[in-house]
Structure 1
Amino acid sequence: MLKKIHYILLTVILLITEIIIALYVHDNFIRPVFGDYLIVFLVYTGIKSVINLKPITAIIITMLFAYFVEIMQYVHIVEKLGYTHNLATRLFLGSSFSWEDMLAYTLGGLTIFYVEYWVIKKLFK
C-alpha cells in the first residue's frame, strides 16, 4: 500500500503541474515539449496508482496510450467528433499531430524505465 500512496501523490503533483502548464504557460518549450514529456509520467503514475502491474507492463501501456492519442490527432478526431469548441476535449486529446510530441513521449517512457529499473533498484537494494 505504501508504494501505491507514492504513486498517488506523484499523480496528484503531476496533474496539478500539467494543469498549471496548460493554463498559464504559453511558450515554445515548457508547454509543447516538457508538458508532453511530463504527461507520460502522469499517465504512468496514474496507472500504477490503481493497478498493480510490473513497471515494464505499465510503461508499455502508457506508451501505447500516448502514441494512440497522438495518432488520433493525426486523423483529426476532435474535428470529426465535432468537439472543436470543447476546451476539455482539446486539452485532453490535443489538436495537432507532431513528431516532436512522439519524441517527448518516447523520452518520457525511457526516463521512467531508467528510474524504475536502475535508480530505484540501486536506492533500495
Structure 2
Amino acid sequence: MKLRFNRWYFILTVLLFVTEVLIAAYLHDEFIRPYAGDFLVVILIYCFVRSFIQAPAVPVAVAVLLFSYLVEGLQYLDMVKHLGLEHSRITNIVLGNYFTWADILAYTLGTAFVILVEKLRTARKPEVIS
C-alpha cells in the first residue's frame, strides 16, 4: 500500500457523490433511494480510498465492506441515540438511524460489483513482455 493520488478514482468519487446527493434530495421512492443508494455508497467509499491509496482491489473493497458493516452494526445498537445525537440531521444522514438486513445485502452486492469490475478491468490490460 502506498499513497498516490489517482485522478480517475477521484473523478468517480465526485460523480458518485453527486449521484448520492441527487438520490437523497430528489428520490423518495421505495427502491432506488434505500437500496441503490446503499449499493452505490460502498462503491463511493471504495473510489474515495483508491483516490489516495494504491493497494490491491480486494483488500480495499473488503475493508470498505467491513466499515459499512460496522456502521450498520452501530445502527443496530442505536448508537446515535446513545451519543445523544438523535436530533442531528447530519449524524442521522451519515450514520443512519436504523438497521436493516437489506442494507447489509446492498453493501455486499456493491462490494461484489466493485471486485468484479476491478477483476475485469485488470484482466483486459495487455501483458508487458520484457
Which string of whole-angstrom CA distances, capped at 9 and with x for unpartnered residues, describes residues 69-112 of structure 1?
00000000111111111111111101100000000000001000
TM-score calculated relative to the size of structure 2: 0.90
User: Aligned to 2:6, what secondary structure does the other structure show?
Assistant: helix
- Matched positions, count: 123
**Aligned pair partner of 2:32 in 20, 27, 30:** 30
The separation in 1 between residues aligned to 2:40 and 2:73, in whole angstroms, is 18
Deviation at 1:28, TM superposition (A): 0.4
User: Aligned to 1:97, what secondary structure does the other structure show?
Assistant: coil
| Unmatched 5+ stretches in structure 1 | none
The runs of 4+ residues in structure 1 deviating greater than 6 Å are none
Rg bigger for which structure? 2
The separation in 1 between residues aligned to 2:124 and 2:105, in whole angstroms, is 28
Equivalent position amino acid for 1:98 in 2: T
The separation in 2 between residues aligned to 1:25 and 1:57, in whole angstroms, is 32
| Unmatched 5+ stretches in structure 2 | none
Query: RMSD of the TM alignment (CA)?
Result: 1.4
Percent identity of paired positions between Structure 1 and Structure 2: 40
More helix by percentage: 1
The separation in 2 between residues aligned to 1:23 and 1:57, in whole angstroms, is 32
Per the alignment, residue 125 of structure 2 pairs with 124
The separation in 2 between residues aligned to 1:46 and 1:83, in whole angstroms, is 26
Pairing 1:44-123 to 2, within 5 Å after superposition: 44-117=46-119, 119-123=120-124
The separation in 2 between residues aligned to 1:54 and 1:95, in whole angstroms, is 32
